Amino acid sequence: MVFNTLAEALTIIQALESANTSICITDTDHKIIYESAKSGYKLNLSSDHLNKLDTGFYHSANAAFRVLLSDNSLTTITTIPVLIAGRPYSLEFKQLIRQNTYFSLESYHFENLSIHQIKEMAITDSLTKLYNRRYIDERLPIDIQSSFELARPLSILFIDIDYFKKINDQNGHAAGDQVLQKLALLLQKQLRRGSGWVARYGGDELLICLPGSGKKVARSIANRLREAIEHYPFYFKGKAINITCSIGVQTIFKDSGVVNIAELIAMADNNLYQAKNEGRNRVY
């Protein structure tokens, strides 16, 4: 991935930032050039350096990955060497993983896990085994950038189970959990290999990313998934549970004016609301 200016690079970098992911750029003397902040950012470059930034921003594949353990958290740190105007810098991604039952130090002996396993844990939802919100925050901006560089569209499907609270209230939360698990397997089976990826956004909301798919194709996939869910036999302790879903579809192009994933997801969420408002079990 190539950036022509620092401003362009920062646009992508800031899109990757989230509540649990911070980003820092340092020079060879470990001086902070850019650092994530809750409001705005810190940028320490001389005027002479700023004048040379349009010569390019490149990244290397020689990334380093390490893990920091404390009493209450696990933090993964990925460091990527980069060049800004011909000078070497380090781009560092820090991801905080709060301690819970899935990442409990009592449940896992991290020294026996490979780096690949720890990475997978960091981006996997413990209930559904789908990708999690952290993966969405990291991967979606990359797919957007890649699609735009290839002059291709990108579509997302925002899926919500209809009356999910009623399912929990009538059958218990264990039933709701099982529905989510079976739904996750169904979506992965229905989504053709290489066409996109599925993640759990939160609660009963799921997100599917379809790089390279335009609106017509995305709506066709959404309707196929909606019908598959409607006709799938969901059971809990021998009792049939009727499941339907509503899906909001949003397609963007390079000239759509969407600058970050929050804006894209908000647009898809608005379409999801319209689908529910029109009677649920619909694609909008």
Residues with active-site annotation: 204
Can you read off the two tokens belonging to residue 223?
Answer: 């309707």
As a residue count, the chain comes to 284
- Stated as kind and residue range, the H or E segment containing 268 is helix 261-277
Beta carbons of 253 and 153 less than 8 angstroms apart: yes
d(CA 209, CA 23): 24
> Tokens in use for 71?
């009493």
Q: Are 85 and 55 in contact (CB under 8 A)?
A: yes
Instruction: Measure CA of the first residue to CA of the last residue in the chain; give whole Å.
Output: 33
- Residue 257, Ramachandran bin (φ over 0: left; ψ between -120 and 50: alpha; else beta): left
Collapse the DSSP code of 254 into the 3-class scheme (helix H, G, I; strand E, B; otherwise coil) and give the result.
helix
CA angle 135, 206, 187 (to 5 degrees): 100
Decide if 268 contacts 249 (C-beta within 8 A).
yes
Check residue 54 and report its DSSP letter. Answer: G
Crossing angle for the helix pair 173-190 and 215-231, nearest 10 degrees?
Answer: 130
